[in-house]
Homo-oligomer: A and B are copies of this chain.
Amino acid sequence: MSNQDIQLTVDAVVFGYESVPRISVLLIKRKYEPFKDSWAIPGGFVLNEESLEDAVYRELKEETGVEIGYLEQLYTFGKPGRDPRQRIVSVAYFGLVRPDTYKISAATDAQEVQWFDIHDLPELAFDHAEILETAIKRLRAKITYEPIGFELLEERFLFSDLENLYKTLLGREIDRRNFRKKIMSLGMLNELDEKVSKGAGRPANLFQFDKKRYFQLKEEGIVFEI
């Protein structure tokens, strides 16, 4: 009927955030040809009876041990020749994980898995550089109009963490006062009654993103926007 010899894979571009601060991405070192020993985005073939999302979760778990918190479809890459052996079309996803997951997987170093600063990347296999670039663009754009930044922070976080995340990701200075006013005026953050000291300086309050409230507000047509 269609005389096709096209294979289907999924790839997962997973980002993390450390308060160094840096945005990092999870890569694996390939064990087999082609591109043996090159770094690559984790991923693999989709099984006959599993959904694309299931395939991403499975591959990611198998290859890196990471369980993802936030995941969305990014783009489908299908140029002939992107894999030197055969025609492979890959549905790329883009995901975010919290620092706790982050540390665990960096420790689970049995396989060759590593977090890389997105500003200090190795050469990548296949067209993975392009995929990664697409994902970074999406991430940067998306934190300004959807509250996905919180998926990169611990559940309870300092306001300064949020601020630094935005500064790092947007690559520019942010006015602390205005940023705080804006975020607070959205009414999606709960201020907790707990303070944390980072060793130096005045202890800071912990905050929590209120997902329920966010969806309520979204219903009412109020949109997240920085």
Tell me the A residues contacting B by CB distance below 8 Å. 1-8, 45-52, 73, 75-76, 78-80, 87, 89, 91
Contact = CB atoms under 8 A, between A and B. Distances in A.
A15 to B, nearest CB: 21
Contact of A48 (B1, B5, B47, B73): B5
A127 to B, nearest CB: 12
A76 B91 contact: yes
A221 to B, nearest CB: 12
Question: Would you call the interface of chain A mostly helix, strand, loop, or mixed?
Answer: loop
A87 B48 contact: yes
| 4 closest cross-chain pairs (CB), A and B | A2-B45, A52-B78, A76-B76, A6-B8
A8 B8 contact: yes
Copies in the complex: 2
A47 B87 CA distance: 10
B46 A4 contact: yes
Contacts of A76: 52, 73, 76, 91
Given A6-B46, A89-B8, A51 B73 contact: no
A118 B175 CA distance: 44
A176 to B, nearest CB: 23
A41 to B, nearest CB: 17
A24 to B, nearest CB: 26
A3 B51 contact: no
B7 A4 contact: yes
Contact of A80 (B1, B49, B87, B89): B49
A73 B74 CA distance: 10
Contacts of A6: 7-8, 46, 48
A5 B6 CA distance: 9
Contacts of A2: 7, 45
5 contacts: A1-B45, A4-B47, A5-B48, A6-B48, A73-B75
